[in-house]
Amino acid sequence: MTITKNNRTFNLLLKVGFAEGVSFLILLLIAMPLKYLMDMPLPVRIVGMAHGILFIGFALVLLKATLEYKWPIKLAVIGFLLSFVPFGTFYLEKLLKDK
């Protein structure tokens, strides 16, 4: 498994992963409490849409990186599953940078 840290795809994966992780935290920690505690559903619609787009983008860039770098399927699956966990994409970034 070869990771070229100066490669465009690798850098894009890190950036999209970071943005997806931040949007997930904003959705969970700000938008959802506003919806359920203050009866303000609009932030969930806006942040939820942005998060959904970033999630799909992350999955596509992860697939591209997996194919480009010939990563093991196990790494791709772990990366995808981590995107469902709060702070998961931040952990994935650390995992990939350490390799």
Q: Would you mind telling me the total number of residues written for the chain in this entry?
A: 99
Q: Looking at this protein, which amino acid is placed at residue 84?
A: F
As given in the structure block, the two tokens for residue 74 are: 């196990």
Give me the pLDDT at residue 56, please.
98
3 inside domain: no
Q: Is residue 2 part of a domain?
A: no
> 29 Cβ partners below 8 Å, 6+ apart?
none
Q: How many CB atoms lie within 10 A of CB 79?
A: 25
Q: Is there a domain that residue 86 lies in?
A: yes
Residue 1 has what pLDDT?
A: 53
Write out the chain's pLDDT in tens, 99 residues.
Answer: 556 666 899 999 999 999 999 999 999 999 999 999 999 999 999 999 999 999 999 999 999 999 999 999 999 999 999 999 999 999 999 998 887
Structurally, the chain folds into a number of domains equal to 1
**92, 17 contact by CB (below 8 A):** yes
The predicted pLDDT at position 6 comes to 64
Task: State the virtual CA torsion across 30, 63, 12, 54 in degrees, nearest 10.
Answer: -20
Does a structural domain hold residue 48? yes
Residue span of the structural domain in which 37 resides? 8-98
- Domain annotation covers residue 77: yes
On whether residue 53 sits in a domain, the answer given is yes
Do the beta carbons of residue 83 and residue 55 sit within 8 Å? yes
> pTM of the entire structure?
0.89
